[in-house]
Amino acid sequence: MTNNWLIGSNNRGKSRDLALCLAYYGLNAESYLSDADPLEFPTETTSSYVANAVTKAQFAAQKLQRPVIADDSGIELPALPDKFGVTTARDLGVQTSGGDRNAAIFTALAKVPNEQRQAVMRATLALAWPDGRTITAQATIAGYIAQFQIGHYSGGFDRLFWLPRYGRTLAELPDQWRLPLTHRGQAACKLVTQLRMMKG
């Protein structure tokens, strides 16, 4: 696929990771910030990953007059059902650094036994065109919250997201292993597959 797509996010770390995920499946994408001033995206107010992602993608596509891919994602902790999830960014602060967000997760789980530290990371991608057309893709990855941060191949929640099958956190896995496992990577695969089907 030769099209260059824009990623609609003001979070440069998320944009880099999403670009890597999409490139893994043959889609070239770059942050819209590479050649445009920052947009003031609508405030997230819904409890729907899909609605949030679609709103961001459609808003940016209209403003930039280019097809835009946007993401809404979150971490879900069964031991803390009333925290995080679709409101993860709102709960932890949109401007909060990855390290500080991870520290907040550890604090929230401080009294939770190891066997109850299950976690799910969920991602929804929305691709919107300026004419209003939109497609979406969703995916999840299940694991546990580690006792401490470890790994240097990626950042954010990857550094605390433990995969028992591999005996490592996501951040301990190099990209060729990590990208197809992550929630965002799986969603990218589904999105690219839909695009290829649309092109016949």
Residues 6+ apart with CB under 8 A from 32: 6, 7, 8, 39, 60, 64, 66, 68
Domain count, the chain: 1
Closest CA to 61 of 92, 104, 19, 32: 32
Q: Do residues 138 and 189 touch, judged by C-beta distance below 8 A? A: no
Percent of the chain with pLDDT over 70: 92
- Angle subtended at Cα 117 by Cα 111 and Cα 118, rounded to the nearest 5 degrees: 155
CA distances from 40 to 10, 63, 115, 152, 198 (A): 9, 10, 41, 31, 31
* CA separation for the pair 124, 137 (Å, rounded): 6
* CA separation for the pair 123, 22 (Å, rounded): 13
- Higher per-residue confidence, 126 vs 87: 126
* CA separation for the pair 180, 62 (Å, rounded): 30
pLDDT tens for residues 22-69? 999 999 999 999 989 999 999 877 789 999 999 999 999 999 999 999
pLDDT score of 200:
54
Confidence bin at 87 (pLDDT 50/70/90): confident
Q: Which domain holds residue 34?
A: 4-198
Confidence bin at 101 (pLDDT 50/70/90): confident
Options 72, 100, 131, 175, the catalytic residue: 72
Model pTM score: 0.92
Inform me whether the pLDDT recorded for 2 exceeds 60. Answer: no
pLDDT score of 1:
45
Structure tokens at 84: 């995080």
Task: Give the residue carrying structure tokens 């925290």.
Answer: 83
CATH assignment of the domain containing 20? 3.90.950.10
- Is 72 a catalytic site residue? yes
Residues 6+ apart with CB under 8 A from 145: 77, 105, 106, 109, 117, 119, 160, 161, 162
* CA separation for the pair 148, 155 (Å, rounded): 13
Structure tokens at 89: 């960014």
